[in-house]
Chain A
Amino acid sequence: MKKTRRLATALTAFALIALPGMTGSGTASANATSCLLCHNAMSGKATTASGAEIELRINSNLFQASVHGSMACTECHQAFTENPHTAPDQAVADDLKKLSSTIAKKAKVDPVAYSACSTCHSDVYQSVMTSVHGKNIAEKGAADGALCLDCHGGPHGIVKSTDENSPVNRKHVVATCANCHADEKLAAKYGHEANIMESYNESFHGKKYTLGHTKAPTCVNCHGYHDIKSKSDPASPVFGTINKTKTCGNCHKGANATFVGAITHKPAGPIPHYAELGLIVLTMGTIAFTIAHVLLEAYSDIRDVVFRKKEEEEETKNESYNECA
């Protein structure tokens, strides 16, 4: 039933879109145009043999506006494991095949297509595979760790990082990291500190970033990105004092061992904690005294003006000032 309906939708879409589409001036390759004839018009979801749920619709406008808009679909989707498509008439390179089996658990929808990023972006892909994110997938076989698309967005709408709509653009990159690093379940599973995003947001870096400071660092400025390492990895730019001194020194010339403690995700230790407690008590005490004093004085001033004015004047006339000295 489901398949029939899908086929009907595709055919209708063909009738509606194909003819005007053929004369259209899209930048997509001929290959992509013919795929998009149907996929731009389809709706609903389907489940692949690997158990992944996919959206059938590919928004052709977004795809064509993306950096990959002029590519053919089959440049990434080199192999299909199931109907209704006929497998493209090409052999998948051995290294792609190998990579696709490495990341198969993560890239359930189309491991070959996901691996195909490496065809053009081989340097980046290699450095990702040495990162804590890449190793998590390649070595531990995790299905929930980050890979290309978790940071760069949907596969058919990737835009340049300098584009404000990119999830890795400066404007959004902190929120993108927070997708996982503010997630309590993932924090528990991977042993992240739970307050990573809060501590950033409350730091001077985070506050300036929030207020639109154009030079305030985001996550990636200290931690790196494609080759990002765990903070306990000696290769991490934030591992140990020596690396931190160098990393902080990129912006803060002359950063030293004392200085690098200024920014941390660690919760406040006992000294700042009790100092803050003491200051809160002091502040509350002072404010309570001040407000009580001001309100009582205001009350007595009003009372004096309204009820005691004459009385007081007479009183003070007869008073000697030396009395109370």
Chain B
Amino acid sequence: MSHTMSVPKDVPAEIERFDLIFRIQHVLMFTTFLILSFTGWGLKYAHVEVSSWWIRIWGGAETAGIIHRVAGVTMLLDFIFHVGYLIYLTAQGKLKFRKETTLIPLPKDIVDVVQNFMYFLGFTRKKPQFAKFSYAQKFDYWAVFWGMFIIGFSGFALAFPILVSGLFPESTSGWIWQLLGIMHSDEALLAIVFILFWHFYNEHLKPEIFPMSWVWITGKISTAELKHRHPLEYDLHFGEGKPEKKEV
């Protein structure tokens, strides 16, 4: 790790970044995501010969279809639980809006993007100073939200078409299913490519993180790393004249 930053002695060595419940949500999310990608890929490219072989590995078309539906429903339930959990935390006062800890995109994020590109290209020596969630992480997070609405809803509709057909008036019959199919298939491809590049680089391949950020297992981040990668959040908790606060 390249961050060899030191923190004052009265600052704890590490703090909790994600509690156990968030960590379980994440594990459910990525396992179902991988299963959905693997089985869905074979269906999307059914005309390619190797797909028949690939689908046989998953137990044949019928079984792969069942696996895909079960994983999809599990992912949707995970998502719904996540939103419910956020609402619960907010209601309990455990989750407060602060610009240093929020996941909500703020104008500063756009400034950070520009500054980061300038840094990449060597126009500035100053890296943007991130809060608890950098714009890259916010992007990663909201991409899942987008995917849940677009891919999740269309997937549910395609998996349970008779049930969902009641939601749409008959006049939509001529185009709604094609639209749902396109939404599901095209956005799934986007999600896979996005995860493959964005999430894998930022959370796995980056030299300072490789082979991966362990926070998804431990839930903890060292204060040294926090100071290096999320200085604004570090300052909120441990900055001068600020006693440690519980909110994270």
Given the interface contacts A258-B176, A279-B186, does A208 sit within 8 Å of B61 by beta carbon?
Answer: yes
User: With A and B bound together, what is the CA distance between A257 and B198 in angstroms?
Assistant: 42
In the complex, the answer to whether A287 meets B193 with C-beta atoms within 8 Å is yes
Chain A 242-272 interface mask (CB, 8 Å, partner B; 1/0): 0000000000111111111111101011011
Q: A214 is contacted by which of B62, B64, B120, B231 (Cβ under 8 Å)?
A: B62
Specify which chain B residues have a CB less than 8 angstroms from the CB of A59 in the assembled complex.
none
User: With A and B bound together, what is the CA distance between A253 and B75 in angstroms?
Assistant: 26
Specify which chain B residues have a CB less than 8 angstroms from the CB of A323 in the assembled complex.
129
Q: Which single residue of chain B is at the shortest CB-CB distance from A319? A: B126
B97 within 8 A of A: no
Given the interface contacts A271-B179, A294-B198, A297-B201, does A325 sit within 8 Å of B165 by beta carbon?
Answer: no
Q: Which single residue of chain A is at the shortest CB-CB distance from B169? A: A258
Given the interface contacts A261-B174, A276-B186, does A286 sit within 8 Å of B194 by beta carbon?
Answer: yes
B23-73 interface (Cβ within 8 A of A): 42-43, 46-47, 51-52, 55-56, 60-62, 64-65
A97 within 8 A of B: no
**Which label, helix, strand, loop or mixed, suits the secondary structure of the B interface?**
helix
Q: Which single residue of chain A is at the shortest CB-CB distance from B179? A: A272
Listed in ascending order, the chain A residues whose CB lies under 8 Å from chain B are 201-202, 204, 206-208, 210-216, 252-264, 266, 268-269, 271-272, 275-276, 279-280, 282-283, 286-287, 290-291, 293-294, 296-305, 309, 313, 315-316, 321-325
B53-102 interface (Cβ within 8 A of A): 55-56, 60-62, 64-65
User: With A and B bound together, what is the CA distance between A301 and B239 in angstroms?
Assistant: 27
In the complex, the answer to whether A211 meets B178 with C-beta atoms within 8 Å is no
Given the interface contacts A213-B62, A257-B173, does A287 sit within 8 Å of B119 by beta carbon?
Answer: no
In the complex, the answer to whether A269 meets B186 with C-beta atoms within 8 Å is no
Smallest CB separation, A248 vs chain B (Å): 9
Specify which chain B residues have a CB less than 8 angstroms from the CB of A214 in the assembled complex.
61-62
Specify which chain B residues have a CB less than 8 angstroms from the CB of A290 in the assembled complex.
193-194, 197-198
Known: A283-B193, A302-B207. 18 other contacts (CB 8 A): A208-B43, A210-B46, A210-B51, A211-B42, A215-B62, A262-B161, A272-B179, A276-B182, A279-B187, A286-B194, A287-B190, A294-B198, A294-B201, A296-B121, A299-B120, A301-B206, A309-B2, A321-B239
Specify which chain B residues have a CB less than 8 angstroms from the CB of A257 in the assembled complex.
170, 173
User: With A and B bound together, what is the CA distance between A253 and B160 in angstroms?
Assistant: 11
